[in-house]
Chain A
Amino acid sequence: MRMKKGSWLNYFVFKNIKLRKGRFFIAISAVMLTVAVLTAFVVLSTGIREKMSRELQSYGANMIVTTLTGLPLKEDVTKRIVSNPLVRGFKAHIYGTLTIRGQELEVIGVRKKDFKGVRLEGSFPEGGNQVIVGVKLAEALGIKKGQSLKEEKRGVTFRVSGIFERGSKADTAIVMDLATAREFFGIKGFSALLLNVDTRYISRFTSELKRDFPSLKITTVKQVALAEEKLLKKIELLMVVVSLVVVFSAAITMGSTVGANIIERMEEIGLMKALGARASEVGRFFLYEAMLSGIIGSLLGTLAGVAIAEAVSRTAFNSFVGVEIFWLPLLICLGVVIAVAATLLPVRRATSMRPSSILRGEG
């Protein structure tokens, strides 16, 4: 019974693979390593900016928005600003003053969830006339937790629910809950918005805000923004360099594996040509095998790459990184292309030789 050409090709290639498992395994490993590194790089680099940005938000705001007139920001303006996708996070503040013991003291109204990165002895003021006092102010005025403070202008008494230390200018201020501050100072809207904006688009965002809201005063906290961007760029560069080095060495491994495989099989190539095989027909056997190692290696490499990326993300950010699925088929194709391309050159060189030279052992 006559066999179809394709069936024979399969049969021949799989028989060869079965006999030369070791070589095939090395070829697969080389593809796998290359694709794993590429996958890990792609997954991490697409996810890392978001992760890092989230981490970097703890650096604080990189933009402060107030009004040129000193009036509070209106609620609708605030909503439009914070709903911009470039805004990664925001804190709304209300500023005012309390007259206590004959002194005008600065007050910041803030939400509890926004009051982070602070050492607090006591509890955040919740409801009622509670405040917390900055450590420097407390020391200066001898204020203690649990004490009452009388606001002299309005005749309202506040209870000190805690003493906080931020290590900044805020340590000389009094902090109260945002809602309490609003009510107390009779402010609709906010005194200031502290934004954390994606550093890549900070200039664009500033221009847009100025165009849409000419009455706003926008201050960029340059140190924070620049530090963020510099750090992100450094990390990205490091990842590119490491990936290039690994991919380069993996490509060399793959090239030498294929090269050694071809040298070992030169006699076969010479024989096939003597039997009347065209160069393309000889190449088909080797490229088919390369394609198989490419597909298997790429599939395994992609899985390994995702696992590596997740492990790195878990270690560095304590959370998993999101995988953009459309990258995976692209990476698999890339692995196959690399495997086939690495095979193409040595096969072309071998098949262009005269069969007589190969069979004489001159290959």
Chain B
Amino acid sequence: MSIIEVQSLRKDYSTAAALRGVDLVIEKGQWVSIIGPSGSGKTTLLNIIGGLDHPTDGKVFVKGTDINALSEDELSVFRRENIGFVFQQSHLIPYLDATENVMLAQYFHSLPDRKEAEEALKRVGLGHRLTHRPSQLSGGEQQRVCIARALINNPSILLADEPTGNLDRTNTRNVLELLRRLHQEEHFTVVMVTHDPYVTEWAERVIKMEDGRIITDESVSG
């Protein structure tokens, strides 16, 4: 059953076209990696799927909803109910500690719950870093906080834009192992943009993009 469906998607910027007619269907629970060189349109595609950006043309259905037909406020509500984001930069609020950063996502979704937020951090292996501020955490730890924050409201889709882009190989593996475990436990759909072939090895399906188009779309066996 498809959870994301993209039809003839175009995105034009004033200087160039970022997407030139992309069609894509992602099944529920899949782990999809989108790989491609810089400027290939992979982040633009991810942002449009997540409702962070609007396409110039084409349609995006997420869980059967045409998200481009939603108003800005409806799109915000749709995002908080269904989608979790992990970015390359952690984008953590500097004056909040790890737990509070997770609670911020709860605040916009429903009600902040410190205990639940702490549990989420413990699940990503940060039980000893609950009251640490982002500046007191390593890059890998910051990304773990982001994963906990992205998953705290039980989204059905996790969109990750180069989540290991700033990490060394060891931390990259740790973050990916963590994501794989959570993915297996909670069965959410993962769409991960990367330019690192190593990261694509963890996916069930790898989509290669170039110059705003999908070049290859391959399923990867175990």
Contact = CB atoms under 8 A, between A and B. Distances in A.
B54 A354 contact: yes
A138 to B, nearest CB: 86
A12 B96 contact: yes
Contacts of B81: 276
Interface string B117-133: 00000000000000000
A273 interface: yes
Interface in B132-173: 149
Given A274-B52, A275-B80, A276-B79, A1 B114 contact: yes
B19 to A, nearest CB: 13
Interface residues of B, number: 35
Assign chain A's interface to a size class.
Answer: 20 to 34
A278 B111 contact: no
B105 A18 contact: no
Interface in A1-60: 1-5, 8, 12, 15-16, 18-20
Interface string B78-114: 1111010101010101111000100111011101111
B57 to A, nearest CB: 17
A267 B112 contact: no
* A3, A18, A276, A357 — most chain B CB neighbours (10 Å): A276
Contacts, number: 89
A2 B87 contact: no
Contacts of B47: 356
Nearest to B76: A278
A8 B107 contact: yes
Contacts of B94: 19
B109 A1 contact: no
A64 interface: no
Interface in A341-363: 352, 354-357, 359
Interface string A258-280: 00000000011011111111111
Contacts of A268: 93
A356 B73 CA distance: 16
Per DSSP, are chain A's interface residues mostly helix, strand or loop, or mixed? helix
A354 B52 contact: yes
A152 interface: no
Contacts of A359: 52, 87, 89, 91
A275 B111 contact: no
Nearest to B85: A274
A352 B76 CA distance: 12
A271 B103 contact: no
Interface of A: 1-5, 8, 12, 15-16, 18-20, 267-268, 270-281, 352, 354-357, 359
24 contacts: A3-B113, A4-B111, A5-B111, A8-B103, A8-B107, A15-B100, A19-B94, A271-B93, A273-B52, A275-B80, A275-B104, A275-B105, A275-B109, A276-B78, A276-B80, A276-B109, A279-B73, A281-B108, A354-B54, A355-B52, A356-B47, A359-B52, A359-B89, A359-B91
For the complex of A and B, list the 7 residue pairs with the smallest distance between their C-beta atoms, beginning with the closest: A276-B80, A19-B95, A356-B52, A356-B53, A356-B47, A276-B79, A2-B111
